[in-house]
Amino acid sequence: MMKLSGANNRGRYRFAVSILFSVIVVIVAGTFLYFPQIYSSLFAAVARPFWRIQFAVNSGVLKTEEILIMENETLKRTIYEQNLNQATVRELELENLELKDLLGRASTTDGILAAVLVKPPLAPYDELVIDLGYDFIHSTTSRVYAPGHVLIGKISEISGQVSKVRLFTSPGQKVEVEIGPKHYPVTAIGRGGGQYEAQLPRSALVLEGDIANTSYLGDRFFAKVVSVIDDPASPFVKILLASPVNIYQLRWVMVEN
């Protein structure tokens, strides 16, 4: 009789525990599904002190002052070296881009790459000195192109190791070009400083921003109209053109064979 009563009590106890457990699971699951942020914030608050301790240990809170100073010095040196390396890489990237630009577009032409040794303002009268001499250049009329295959001038003098390039923007130099959407033929005369000047009848419709092409080179971009000066006393309008290439920043050119 006592045994039966004990078994009954144990059974009831287990049943009560199971019911309690089920109720707790249902409540927890419900709140977990509908208010997950409660658990997140609660458990994150529990875990945070441990994470902080771990972070502090990883950050070197247990290291001695000497070790930290040494590490600091090493890191500073590494950063300095990395900066130097990065500057070198940036410089090489730039050079690579310029060379790709120059060689990529000129791949169908028989051109020779040349480095610009002297350029304006160090060279007078819009001239360049390049590192190609008699070995590579045989004609004083060879055309010279800037990156982007922009015609900028002609070889004017050749010596043993170097040559001079007379830019078309050099004062007095003349180039036949066609301006604007209607392709008005005109002679662009160099003014120096990377600019040209041209004259057209007043009836010609040319606006700032119009493009000038060299017709004999297959309509390549040569210059851009930067100003149209209209003098009522003159039958012509004066047009100022600028080369798309900044001659003060040229580093490489392509010389046509």
Partner 1 sequence: MSKKTVVRIIIDFVIFLAVIQGWWFVALPIGLAAVLNLPYYAEIVIAGIFYDSLFGLMPGSGIDGYLASIVTLTAYIILTGLKKVVRD
Q: Enumerate binding residues for partner 1 (CB under 8 A).
A: 17, 21, 25, 28-29, 32-33, 36, 39-40, 42-44, 46-47, 50-51
For the chain, the helix, strand and coil percentages under 3-state DSSP, each to the nearest 5: 40, 30, 30
Nearer Cβ to partner 1 (32/216): 32
CB of 253 closer than 8 Å to CB of 130:
yes
> Whose CA is closest to 190, among 170, 216, 206?
170
Distances (CA, A) of 250 to 27, 77, 104, 225, 231: 76, 35, 17, 21, 35
Nearer Cβ to partner 1 (33/233): 33
- What does the DSSP 8-state code read for residue 217? G
Q: Closest separation between CB of residue 39 and partner 1, Å?
A: 4
Nearer Cβ to partner 1 (8/139): 8
Q: Closest separation between CB of residue 50 and partner 1, Å?
A: 5
Q: Closest separation between CB of residue 214 and partner 1, Å?
A: 60
Nearer Cβ to partner 1 (40/246): 40
Rounded CA-CA distance 149/107 in Å is 11
36 is written with which tokens? 């997950």
Q: Closest separation between CB of residue 62 and partner 1, Å?
A: 18
